[in-house]
Amino acid sequence: MSENAIVKLQQVQDYRFDNHFADVALPLQTDEPPPLGSGSGPSPSQLLAAAVANCLTASLLFASRKFHIDFEPLSCEANAIVDRNERNRLRVQRIEVQLRAGQPVAAAANLERLLGSFEDFCTVSQSVAQGIPVLVTVLDADGTVLKAPA
């Protein structure tokens, strides 16, 4: 399966842009946080974290259905850690992702196999991880850690 992800940006004002995605009726408005922009939409760093989080959540959902383990409803929180590099330029240093099952799954058969494989099928996180560390934690519904970053 080949999928191209095309987005076209149009400046609205200052650092605010309308992002037009193929086959999506309404644009998504992005903006830089103050002091550059007004923070009226997600920033590029937030979009990067959202893309990684969404892909990992979808991958875990697909795997959980394949292995017949009820993780739903899934929730996820991602944090793109931004800091200055050695040249004093802001860079995304790492992305921390926490996925939470909506059901108790710690005792499920094949859970270890599922947890050991779902990340490998996530197109976005595996691509991003080639340049930015992506640290994934998976929690049970009660907060028990099922998978921690290696």
Separation between Cα atoms, residue 78 and residue 52, nearest integer Å: 8
* Selection from 40, 140, 137 nearest residue 96 by Cα: 137
Report the CATH superfamily, name and number, of domain 44-147. Answer: K homology (KH) domain (3.30.300.20)
Tally of CA atoms within 13 A in the half-sphere of 101 that contains its CB: 26
Q: Is the pTM of this model over 0.85?
A: yes
Task: Return all residues near 91 (Cβ < 8 A) that are at least 6 apart.
Answer: 82, 83, 84, 85
How does pLDDT run across 97-132, given as a tens digit for each residue?
999 999 999 999 999 999 999 999 999 999 999 999
Q: Band the pLDDT of 2: cuts 50, 70, 90.
A: low
Q: Domain boundaries in the chain?
A: 1-41, 44-147
Separation between Cα atoms, residue 111 and residue 67, nearest integer Å: 8
Residue 114 · residue 63 · CB < 8 Å? yes
Q: Band the pLDDT of 3: cuts 50, 70, 90.
A: confident
pLDDT exceeds 80 at position 79: yes
